[in-house]
Amino acid sequence: AQSVTQLGSHVSVSEGALVLLRCNYSSSVPPYLFWYVQYPNQGLQLLLKYTTGATLVKGINGFEAEFKKSETSFHLTKPSAHMSDAAEYFCAVSEAGGGNKLTFGTGTQLKVEL
Amino acid sequence: GAVVSQHPSRVICKSGTSVKIECRSLDFQATTMFWYRQFPKQSLMLMATSNEGSKATYEQGVEKDKFLINHASLTLSTLTVTSAHPEDSSFYICSASAGGSGANVLTFGAGSRLTVL
């Protein structure tokens, strides 16, 4: 069984500040890891994913995440927050070759303040 | 890019009635579609996997007779909430896969908010 834990249901940062959203996972097999963003009343948009290879992955809108197997983590970062980054962020895990079945974390609401 | 459309985006119904939600892949053929339920301030919970031309696979604890899923074509899957009750009120989201085993080909719909009075 797989699970995802997102620490902090709400994160608030100032515009221009570093964004750090935490995600830890549990998986008995090599995982595929994902970050999705959800804007109000919209579906989920893929930010980035890790499957194999380079552990630091870059996504859209300046976000990146690093897969750390020893820490079972996949934290999402962005050097400088923008007002448009305010949204709900979900970390998700699937088994490699697991046929697209995703297990989501509980989400982190990011607030960006002036 | 790939687009998935859900309809209706919002629906209000009376207790005891049935509601149908559609999930369409607009510019690709989706061999597999997934239905999720999202409670307020909570995560997405996978309800079922819908495969074109075959019966849906439901997750543990999801009532098959309550949540009827039909994937009759490669571009359409429907979720019917039968005899809806207030506890069925939720945000329902579908996602579609064009094929392959990697979840990187999933595209999500915008969701359908169901309110049962």
B85/chain A closest Cα distance in angstroms:
23
Rounded to whole angstroms, the Cα distance separating B49 from B60 reads 12
Rounded to whole angstroms, the Cα distance separating A46 from A31 reads 17
B101 and A104 in contact by Cβ < 8 A?
A: no
Rounded to whole angstroms, the Cα distance separating A51 from A55 reads 9
Residue A87 has pLDDT above 90, yes or no: yes
Q: Which residues does chain A have within 8 Å of residue B4's beta carbon, measured at their own beta carbons?
A: 43
- pLDDT value of position B103: 47
More confident residue, A99 or B2: B2
Q: Is B4 on the interface with A (CB under 8 A)?
A: yes
Closest partner CB to B43 (pick from A42, A101, A105): A105
pLDDT digit string (tens) for A10-62? 999 999 999 999 999 998 888 899 999 998 877 888 899 998 889 999 999 99
Residue A68 has pLDDT above 90, yes or no: yes
B79/chain A closest Cα distance in angstroms:
17
Closest partner CB to A101 (pick from B49, B110, B113): B49
The verdict on whether omega for the bond into residue B40 sits within 30 degrees of 0, i.e. cis, is no
Q: Which residues does chain B have within 8 Å of residue A42's beta carbon, measured at their own beta carbons?
A: 110-111
- pLDDT value of position B30: 86
Q: Is A45 on the interface with B (CB under 8 A)?
A: yes
A97 band by pLDDT with thresholds 50, 70 and 90: low
**The dihedral sign for the CA sequence A17, A77, A21, A39:** positive
Residue B52 has pLDDT above 60, yes or no: yes
Q: Is A105 on the interface with B (CB under 8 A)?
A: yes
What's the token pair of residue B96? 């579609």
Rounded to whole angstroms, the Cα distance separating A45 from A58 reads 15
A49, with CB counted inside 10 A (0-12, 13-18, 19+), is buried
Q: Is B28 on the interface with A (CB under 8 A)?
A: no
- pLDDT value of position A52: 86
pLDDT digit string (tens) for B54-110? 889 999 999 999 999 998 888 999 999 999 999 999 999 999 986 655 545 688 999
Q: Mean pLDDT score of chain A, rounded to an integer?
A: 91
A27/chain B closest Cα distance in angstroms:
16
A98 band by pLDDT with thresholds 50, 70 and 90: low
